[in-house]
Amino acid sequence: MSLWVDKYRPKDLSKLDYHKDQAENLKKLTQRGDFPHLLVYGPSGAGKKTRIMCILKDLYGPGVERLRMEQLNFTTPSKKKLEIMTVSSNYHIEINPSDVGIYDRVVVMDLIKNVAQTQQLDVNGQREFKVIVLTDVDDLSKDAQHALRRTMEKYIANCRLILSANSTSRLTPAIRSRCLGIRVSAPTITEIVTILQGVCKREGLNLPTELAQRIAEKSNRNLRRAILMCEACKVEQYPFSANQNIAEPDWLLFIRAIARKISQEQSINTLASVRGDLYELIIHGIPNTIIFQTLVSELVKNCDITLKATIISQAALFEHRLQHGNKAIFHLEAFVAKYMYLYKKFLEDTIGDAF
């Protein structure tokens, strides 16, 4: 059984549901048969991956859809063995180098060298280059980005890179300037509603517009999540009703619970237990930025407006450090401690004023 997200993913540039102008341009790009390195960026669930696959299909034909999973092994100079999963076809290889943490540099360099040094044999007039798709490049370490920059230039003759990132802010200018940037913005609510209804129609289901609207709003303009939510709703209850329950992600509820805990009691014990919860989130792969952002927005909800400003400015400070640092827990904890302190002080002050 495949998920609706996979099942109804557009496979062709001409079949994309939104950003049609951009699709048009991409089509022209591939028709030329050659293109520079690409940097596709935009929020999560906006359709970056879909567009990348469409471009590849346009270039190489349906052969790119025959995917295989492979585990590649790398050895660092310090003889540490690394394993990383890759998805590849005959024409491209997709890899997420940040899976190996600080050793991403080795993976980036070795992979590109390996791919680029094997010349494409001229099988019935194929392209003379292969494509390497790197996902989550904004999580790459500085070292890896520098390595990438050099290898990108060196092997341009027989390989092209397509980078996918959520934001360009963490990429070095050197990388940005070597790529053609393609911004994929999130679909609007109305676009999501139309797509959801289209999907349901093809499934032979009847989706009330109100429910579609609610799902679209809850999904935070994340199309992938919207479709998943819709499918989850279907599993839960069909036929749909307009005001049925839409399941929210468990981690969101989890963070909300953490926020509640923090607001209820400001003490060292709470801080210690919050740390445990944060560790759970981090270990299970929820991205640090998402944890931080959700936590801040949940915490700020129960704050007075004067307090809000201080907390947001503090959040900005620690989030900045988190972006640069390597151990998120330090900064998350520092922020929680700061919040607790400010919140407690505020409460004490207001109670003091009341008397």
Partner 1 sequence: MQRGSNKWISFGIDLKASKPKESVSNGVNGKDQQSARKVKNKTRPNLNLIDKLKPVHVDDLSVHVKKVKEVSTWLEQNVCCDQTGSAILLLTGPTGAGKTATINVLCKSLNISIREWINPIDQEIEGVYTQAQYSRFIEFFSLGKYVSLCQDSMSKQVLLIEDFPNFLIHNPEQFVDVLEKCTERNLSVIFICTDASNSKIDFLQTLFPQEVKEKYFITNINFNPVSATLIKSALKRAQQVIRTFSEEYKSLSADVIDAIVVSAMGDIRSAVNQFMFACLRGVGNIPLELNETTSKKRKRNEKSSAVKFMQRDEILGFFHALGRVLNPKHGDNALKKLEYDFDSLIDQFATQPSNFNAFLQENYLKYFGDLNDVRKAAEIMSTAQSFLANWSERHEIMLYALWIAVLGLMIYNEHKVSKWTQIKGPTKLKQLSNSTEVCDLKRTDYFYYNLITGTNKFHTFKPY
Q: Is 250 in the site for partner 1 (CB under 8 A)?
A: yes
CA gap 38, 25 in Å, rounded: 13
Long-range contact set of residues 217-220: C-beta below 8 Å, sequence gap at least 24: 217/189, 218/246, 218/248, 219/45, 219/192
- For 198, the token pair is 């289209």
Judged by CB under 8 A, the residue of 69, 121, 123, 351 near partner 1 is 69
Q: Which is nearer to partner 1, 44 or 244 (CB)?
A: 44
Q: Which is nearer to partner 1, 110 or 333 (CB)?
A: 333
Distances in Å between the Cα of 186 and the Cα atoms of 49, 75, 230 are 13, 38, 18
Of 3-11, 152-160, 171-179, 187-195, the segment contacting partner 1 by CB under 8 A is 3-11
Size of interface with partner 1, in residues (CB under 8 A): 65
Identify the burial level of 146 via C-beta atoms within 10 angstroms of its C-beta, where 0-12 means exposed, 13-18 middle and 19 or more buried.
Answer: middle
CA-based max dimension of the chain? 87
Q: Is 351 in the site for partner 1 (CB under 8 A)?
A: no
Q: Which stretch binds partner 1 (CB under 8 A): 16-24, 115-123, 296-304, 332-340?
A: 332-340
Q: Which of residues 275-304 bind partner 1 (CB under 8 A)?
A: 275, 279-287, 290
- Judge contact between 224 and 233, C-beta under 8 A: no
User: Does 327 contact partner 1 by CB under 8 A?
Assistant: yes
DSSP β-bridge partners for residue 309: none
Helix (H/G/I), strand (E/B), else coil: 79: coil
Residues between 183 and 242 with contacts to partner 1, criterion CB under 8 A: 224-225, 228-229, 231-232, 235-236
* CB of residue 34 to partner 1, shortest distance in Å: 27
On the CB side of 352, how many CA atoms lie within 13 Å of its CA? Answer: 6
Q: Which residues bind partner 1 (CB under 8 A)?
A: 1, 3, 5-6, 44-45, 49, 69, 85, 87, 96, 99, 102, 141-143, 224-225, 228-229, 231-232, 235-236, 247, 249-251, 253-254, 256-257, 266-268, 271-272, 275, 279-287, 290, 318, 321, 324-327, 329-331, 333-334, 336-338, 340-341, 344
